[in-house]
A and B are shown apart, each in its own frame.
Chain A
Amino acid sequence: MALLRRTARHRGAAVGMVLLVLFLLAAAFAPGIAPRDPLALKLDDGLSGPSASHWLGQDKFGRDVLSRLIHGARLSLAVGLGTVGISLLIGLAAGSLAGFLGGAADRIFTGACDVLLAFPGILLAIGIAAVRGPSFGNVLFALSVLGWVGYARVIRAQVLSVKTREFVESARAVGSSPARLLLRHILPNAISPILVEATFGIARAIVAEAGLSFLGLGVAPPAPSWGSMIGEGRHFLFIAPHLVTAPGAAILLTVMAFNFVGDGLRDALDVRGNMQ
């Protein structure tokens, strides 16, 4: 709670948090909030602009853009949180073990990281999604395959620096088991930079998912995804610009919100900042 309060003192982060809460609520209660069925076609109203009954207009199939946007929030947030969740789990495990064990394990880990980081992430994701076909699971997989490496490196560096501190030494001296040492003493003190990194990671994953969906490699149609809404709408850029602006703005706001919160978190967690 204290961390939240400190983060909220950052003005941008406060805005970001409000936005995020709104998006999360929209995602959680999408079926209740969305004015219409996001999949229901009204073909004869295709490409209609914003109106009183359809605030953000209708797409080529006459589907309500606002409802699709709200349901799309589910997908974007799920991909963002899911990818970062999976990446964090793998990254935490691999990074902390490498840092804690040191020696050969660490050398293999560092080597593997360097190799993996040399892959262009989004291209690999496009390749994976193209081969495995469009689905939610494949998007998560494609984005997590390399996503964990960054976290692993950060956590390794943290573990390396924390494990030489006095409180770890003393815990070791009183006979804590290595597992207890890592989980109870080192990790809790090494985790804060990861939180910041993860917040930005969610934003990156959302953009990546939008990119994949734009290319038709995201979640299978007709599920509404912001990226695929832009992809489908771009063909009508000249006659129905609302089809791309609405989901574009949604992506912009979400990513901005996560980045603001990330900035706030970083400032709040910055020890030097607190001492001033």
Chain B
Amino acid sequence: MLRIFRLSILFPSFLAILTLSACAQKLPIDEGRMVIALPGAPVNVDPRVATDAYGEQLLQMTHASLVGRDAAGEPLPDLAQRWESPDPLTYVFHLRPGLGFHDGQPLTSADVRYTFSWILDSVNRSPHRGLYRHVAAIETPDPRTVVFRLSEPFAPFLSTMVRGIVPAGSPARGYAPPVGAGPYKIDDLSPDGEAVLSAYDGYYGGPPAILAVTVKFVPDSNVRFLELKMGSVNFTLNGVDPDLLPAAELAGRLVVEEGRGGNVTYLGFNLRDRALSDVRVRRAIALAIDRETIVRTIWKGRADLVSSILPPGSWALDPDLPAVPFDPARARRLLDEAGFPDPDGEGPLPRLRLTYKTSQNEVRRRVATVIQEQLRQVGISVEIQSIEWGTFFSDIKKGNFQIYSLTWVGIADPDIFHHAFHSRSAPPDGANRGGYSDAEIDRLTEAARREPSREKRRDTYRRVQRILARDLPVFPLWAGRNLLVRDRRLTGFPLTPDESYGPVRAMRIVPVPSTPSEGGRR
């Protein structure tokens, strides 16, 4: 049904563009307004419950958290000016002086406690509750001090403090517009249209230079591209089809920037499936996929191959992991060994049939089409089921799949290995959707999250990655690079691997740079 919805967006937008081009043009950027296009509408804009990427991206501009994150994923001061951990079970945060919410109310330790207590209260059924289950108590000795007491050591704790703080007493429903303490406040929010933001004067770091920001939710990639060309949108991160990027650059007013990405796309296998429970079959599938060609052609080279689900650049990444090569001959041999001989050689009959579930995202569908054909070459017949996101994700969580493809977004800590591969992390307690179970992985991931020393954690996670590379419960494919298309006058946005929109607050609109013409420099 998503596609129908897209269509209904497509035509009015075309009309809008036509009318826009008909009038004498005064673009938003000429009036000091930055217009961001997100490829979809947020499902939720309450930091206590939002889990979708678009919701979180909007919240990065409107809500502040105790701790921020730098480009490498390391914690940075945000609302908390500094913090200390006197022992592995205690974290003390010291808030900045004079903090306030958009509505003028002061932000104190009570608001911090309220936000996390609300998430921890099982009545509220927050999807983030599991993340904070080690929190035993939250104390507020004074309005500027918050103390978190943990029930057991939890090394990734600081990375979980990247959660927007809401005013104490904010109701679960009717929290609109959502009030936060971030650099922008939400003036207007229409769920399927756009969010209108304006600079918050009381922001602790001083109000942002760009006073007016509109965030448009534009699901159709063609419309995003057209709006960019017209100038009615002037900033989009990962919003333009890789094939259309050269055309975007041609527009003159726009510039394209590329940065390392942190989101790893992978193939997930259902290990409860008779064929896929055999590691030889999983390895054969991995060997049959020519990832380099897919990256070169579908992604136009704007992605990097990976061998682990950790984002490239993560401190815990094992740099010496063996990469799975493209070797269809070996794939066929492995399938023979695993008891799936080719019934008729060159003939049309497959060795085995599998279904491959994916969302309706256009690039994902293209990837699925290529993988389908590459697996056909080794005798595996693949049926692609490209289904609407809600149904797709619920099927994946229920284990109702053979192969699926998904992307891990915003992974900051290698504790993801516990979340995704521990035998007790089956949904809803985690994301071990394929039913993988390995005693060694269980032991290592449990030990690593209790280990305060980063060096020792790194060693443990390298062993974890070795085992996963051997067992292939998922096949990590690639990490897409982040691609920013922006008006050349919008400057000062550092691309971070986690696609954060937080740095929008540091951006400025500069007058058209008087660069010499391209021809002159040749």
Contacts and interface: CB of A to CB of B under 8 A. Distances in A.
B243 A60 contact: yes
Nearest to B290: A43
Contact of B247 (A61, A216, A234, A239): A239
Interface stretch (B365-373, B399-407, B513-521): B365-373
Interface stretch (B183-191, B268-276, B381-389): B381-389
Interface string B464-501: 00000000000000000000000000000000000000
Given A61-B369, A215-B3, A238 B386 contact: no
B467 to A, nearest CB: 33
A188 B368 CA distance: 51
Given A47-B243, A222-B372, A216 B360 contact: yes
A159 to B, nearest CB: 39
Interface in A27-70: 39-41, 43-44, 46-47, 60-62
A137 interface: no
B456 interface: no
B151 interface: no
A221 B254 CA distance: 35
Contacts of B4: 126, 215
A237 B222 contact: yes
B243 A239 contact: yes
A236 interface: yes
A217 B385 CA distance: 11
A62 B373 CA distance: 12
Contacts of B362: 235
A248 interface: no
B297 to A, nearest CB: 4
A231 to B, nearest CB: 8
A62 B294 CA distance: 12
Contact of B383 (A40, A61, A220, A234): A220
B30 to A, nearest CB: 25
Interface residues of A, number: 25
Interface in B344-401: 360, 362, 365-366, 368-370, 372-373, 383-388
Nearest to A234: B222
Contacts of B225: 238
A215 B385 CA distance: 14
Contacts of B244: 236, 238-239
A43 B384 CA distance: 19
Interface in B297-313: 297-298
Given A220-B383, A235-B222, A239-B244, A41 B373 contact: yes
A258 to B, nearest CB: 25
Interface string B215-253: 000000110010000000000000001011011000000
Contacts of B384: 220-222
A133 interface: yes
Contact of A235 (B241, B247, B293, B296): B241
Contacts of A217: 3
Interface in B3-36: 3-4, 7
A130 interface: yes
B1 interface: yes
B478 to A, nearest CB: 15
Nearest to B368: A221
Nearest to A41: B373
A73 B373 CA distance: 22
A230 to B, nearest CB: 12
Given A43-B293, A43-B297, A239-B244, A133 B385 contact: yes
Nearest to B3: A215
A60 to B, nearest CB: 6
Interface string A221-256: 110000000000011111100000000000000000
Given A44-B296, A215-B7, A216-B3, A238 B247 contact: yes
Contacts of B373: 39-41, 61, 222
Contacts of B298: 43, 60
A246 to B, nearest CB: 18
Interface string A103-128: 00000000000000000000000100
B222 A41 contact: no
A216 B386 contact: yes
Contacts of B241: 235-236
A239 B246 CA distance: 10
Contacts of B387: 133
A62 B362 CA distance: 17
A220 B381 CA distance: 13
Contacts of B366: 60-61
Given A47-B243, A216-B3, A236-B243, A222 B369 contact: yes
Contacts of A237: 222
A130 B243 contact: no
Interface in A182-198: none
Contacts of A61: 366, 369-370, 373
Contacts of B243: 47, 60, 235-236, 239
Contacts of B222: 234-235, 237-238
Nearest to A237: B222
A126 B8 CA distance: 14
Contacts of B368: 221
A130 B221 contact: no
A12 B57 CA distance: 58
Given A41-B373, A44-B297, A60-B243, 15 more contacts: A39-B373, A43-B293, A43-B297, A61-B370, A220-B383, A220-B385, A221-B369, A221-B384, A222-B372, A235-B221, A235-B243, A236-B243, A237-B222, A238-B222, A238-B225
6 tightest A-B CB contacts, nearest first: A43-B297, A215-B3, A41-B373, A43-B293, A46-B297, A216-B3
5 contacts: A44-B293, A61-B366, A133-B387, A237-B222, A238-B244
